[in-house]
Amino acid sequence: VPLYEKFALVYDQMGADRHSQKMAGYTLEIMRRFKIRAATGLDLCCGTGSAVARLADHGLEMAGLDQSPHMLAMATRKLKGRSVTLYRKSLPKFRLLDSRDSRRLRRFDLVTCFYDSLNYLKGERALKGAFRSVYEHLNSPGWFVFDMNTPSALKTLWDDSIHADVRDNLAWVWKLDHFPKTRSSACYATFFVKRGRTWERFDEVHYEYGYTNGTIRRLLREVGFEVKGFYDCGTFRKPTSGTSRICAVAKKTDKHGR
Ligand SMILES: C[S@@+](CC[C@H](N)C(=O)[O-])C[C@H]1O[C@@H](n2cnc3c(N)ncnc32)[C@H](O)[C@@H]1O
C-alpha cells in the first residue's frame, strides 16, 4: 500500500505538521548561531509544506521535495501565493536541474529534512546516497540541517504501544512494534474518517530504521560534509544515551563545488 495517500488529507488536522513548524523555528535559531546567510533553501520530504511556508516567510527562496503526490497537493494548497517550487522526487537519489542551464544541478544554500523522514531509508547505503544527493545540491558554503529518531527512540517509544486520538470527523489508532535485529520499527496506522454519514477506514504501515549517532556522523563525513553541530534535537546540548531525536548541522565547504 502506498504511504501518505489518504493520510495526506488528515495530516495537518491531526496536528502532525506541528513538529516541522517547530523545526523551522529551531533552524532559524541554528542559522543565527552559525551565522548562516542562506538565500535559497530546499526542504526534503516536505510533506504538507509547513516548514517550506515558514522558511519562505522568513525570506528564503524555497523549494520542497517529496515523493507523495498527495502530500504535495496539500503543500501546493498551503503555499498558494508564495513563490516556491515543489518537486515530486524520491530519496535517496534525486537530481533537480537548473532551469537556466539544464546541464547543471540546481543548488541551494540550505537543505533541511524534518520529522524523522530520513529514518524511512532502509540501510546505510540508502542513507549515504541521500546524504550524497544533498551534498551535490548544495552551494559551497552550504548547510544541511535535519532531525532523526535515534535507535533508542525506536526501541523504547516505537515498541509495543498504541497511540490513539479522536477529532469530530476523524479517529486514529497507531500500533507500534520494534524489530531489534534490524534496529527498525513499524507503525501500523489505522484511520477512520467521516464522510457524510458513514465512516471510511484506511490503513498504512510505516517502517523506520535506526542509525547510531556514530554512523550518521561517519556517513556525513564520507560524502564530504563537516559535522558542525550534533544535538539533542530542539536544544544545543549534546545527545545522551536517552536522547530520542537528534538534530545534525552539516556544512559543505568543498571549493570546486563538484
Ligand atoms: C513524517 S512525514 C514528514 C513530513 C514533513 N517533513 C513534516 O515534518 O511534517 C514523512 C514525509 O517523507 C516523505 N517521504 C518518505 N520517504 C521518502 C522518500 N524516499 N523520498 C521522498 N519523500 C519521502 C513522505 O511522503 C512524507 O511526506
Q: Is the Cβ atom of 152 under 6 angstroms away from ligand 1?
A: no
Q: What is the pLDDT of residue 1?
A: 75
Pocket test for ligand 1, best of 43, 54, 67 (most atoms within 8 A of CB): 67
DSSP annotation string for 166-181: EETTEEEEEEEEEEGG
Task: Using a cut of 0.85, tell me whether the model's pTM lies above it.
Answer: yes
Q: Quick check: helix, strand or coil at residue 105? A: strand
Evaluate whether 150 touches 178 at the Cβ level (below 8 Å): no
Q: What is the pLDDT of residue 256?
A: 55
Query: What length is written for the chain?
Result: 258
Taking the C-alpha atoms of residue 12 and residue 17, their distance in angstroms, rounded to an integer, is 5
Query: pLDDT tens, 77-133?
Result: 999 999 999 999 999 999 999 989 989 999 999 999 999 999 999 999 999 999 999
Q: Is the Cβ atom of 47 under 6 angstroms away from ligand 1?
A: yes
Single out the residue of 53, 153, 137 nearest to residue 95, CA to CA. 137
Residues in CB range of 18: below 8 A, 6 or more apart: none
66 CA: nearest ligand 1 atom: 22
Taking the C-alpha atoms of residue 195 and residue 143, their distance in angstroms, rounded to an integer, is 44
